[in-house]
Amino acid sequence: MRLPREGGCGCTGRMATAPVIDVRDLNVKYGDFHAVKDLSFQVERGELYALLGTNGAGKTSTLETVEGHRPATSGAVRVFGRDPRDRREVRPRVGTMLQESGFSPDLTVRESVRLIGSLTGRTDRVERLLGVVGLAHKAGTRVSQLSGGEKRRLDFATAVYGTPELVFLDEPTTGLDIQSRDALWDAVDRLREEGATVVLTTHYLEEAQQRADRIGLMHRGTLRREGTVSELTRALPATIRFSPPAGAPDLPLPAVPEGGGTFLVETPALQKDLHVLLDWARDHGVELRDLQAGPTRLDDVFRALDGE
């Protein structure tokens, strides 16, 4: 998948240092229910920022506000220094891939993409863009006749039409096969080479772990963690798992039995403790079955939210 380089928003007046997205003390309420509480975060130009969280954490409510679809109950939200509901100024610079596409089922793929062109004022070459997302052969097909994965690819095509400066990707790879996922991320990389800022939400944590420059972790309406992947994961210990043979000598480290003969070591010093364990195994002629060692993963950071 290759993004077309032609076209663009033709926008002017970019600020070199101001954040592209600036959210301060955002609150969103639905009646008495407080869905987003005093949320503040900024996204810098060119960043890929992943807003992640547990179900019902408030991600969609936050993003709908930042995208200008929902008014804030209180707080300040700025996109390119403007109120995101200022459609005339903000919309030409922003592409959005929502969780649910809003295309008319009677329009063809080609017509749907052209419609985005007329709504955003951006220009692009439709046939070439459809080639990027592997839908060139479906250009004349009605949206109602697309598969779920093809609809997602069409959503993506419309979000990146005309290479917008800021792209929102809400669960972009849900329902996509592995080839389409790889192609989508390839296209996102190219978009970023053009200097685009990307805001991602996903429940595929490994995608965020691989792609995001920074991650914001929401839980129950508030931002509980924020930082790079290594900043988020280094706060938790690394893990070593192994199964010693029955009758092995006393272990050289504090280890917790996990059932099935497996033991777990949690350690802030992975390399050192791994050496200790392997030296002990060699000295005693012990074979450690199912040995696994690694730094904390993002899913462990997520699990740690449960107790909060």
For residues 100 and 200, give the distance between their C-alpha atoms in angstroms, rounded to a whole number. 15
Identity of residue 17: T
When asked if residue 57 is in the footprint of ligand ATP (CB under 6 A), the reply is yes
Classify burial at 148, counting beta carbons within 10 Å of its beta carbon; exposed 0-12, middle 13-18, buried 19 or more.
Answer: exposed
Residue closer to ligand ATP by CB (options 63, 238) is: 63
The number of residues making up the chain comes to 308
Which of 1, 4, 41, 61 is in the footprint of ligand ATP by CB under 6 A?
Answer: 61
Spatial contact of 287 and 222, defined as CB atoms under 8 Å apart = no
* Interface region with ligand ATP, contact rule CB under 6 A, candidates 19-27, 50-58, 79-87, 178-186: 50-58
Spatial contact of 123 and 132, defined as CB atoms under 8 Å apart = no
Residue closer to ligand ATP by CB (options 65, 112) is: 65
Q: How far apart, in Å, do the first and last CA atoms of the chain sit?
A: 42
Residue closer to ligand ATP by CB (options 167, 217) is: 217
For residues 172 and 192, give the distance between their C-alpha atoms in angstroms, rounded to a whole number. 16
Scan for tokens 């009758």, then name that residue.
247
* Interface region with ligand ATP, contact rule CB under 6 A, candidates 55-63, 120-128, 153-161, 222-230: 55-63
What string marks each residue from 3 to 42 as x (binds ligand ATP by CB under 6 A) or -? ---------------------------x--x-x-------
Kindly state the number of chain residues that form the binding site for ligand ATP, as judged by CB under 6 A. 11
* Interface region with ligand ATP, contact rule CB under 6 A, candidates 5-13, 56-64, 184-192, 267-275: 56-64
Q: Which residues bind ligand ATP (CB under 6 A)?
A: 30, 33, 35, 53, 55-61
